[in-house]
Amino acid sequence: MAGMNRRTGRWLSGWDHLLQSLEVLFSTMVGTRVMRRSFGSVVPALLGRPINQSTVLRFATAVIVAVELWEPRFRIKQISFEKSRNSPEKLRLGQLTMSLVGEYRPRAHLGDPTPEGGERTINF
């Protein structure tokens, strides 16, 4: 899949296009797209909430559901919130870092779920 970089207007394809698509997916609230009301995630609704176990679980669930529904090119195998990257100081400031580990399947939107390369990690 290919498209345009939303910041530079240049051609974008492959892994970089997937990363941009995930960014759009996680920043779009369900119901805000006029012609595609079901597109998006509930991630934006969770921003600004206290970082506790319940919120982190809801956040991880929202990410998994959104990717499963809208992004066939990435299959999540694991979500982690590493303690070393989420110090108490960062959490007090409302900063939570997560890693998505999964398979990149560049032709999955065409019905071919064959992964390319090994597992890949995306850090947010």
3-state secondary structure 106-122: CCHHHCCCCCCCCCEEE
DSSP letter string, 58-115: HHHHHHHHHHHHH-TTEEEEEEE--TTTS-HHHHHTT----EEEEEE-TTGGGT----
Helix (H) or strand (E) holding 123: strand 120-123
pTM: 0.88
Which residues constitute the domain of residue 11? 2-123
Number of domains in the chain: 1
| Domain containing residue 60: CATH number | 3.10.450.40
- DSSP-assigned letter for residue 28: S
* Tens digits of residue pLDDT in 52-88: 889 999 999 999 999 999 999 999 999 998 877 888 8
* Tens digits of residue pLDDT in 35-48: 999 999 999 999 88
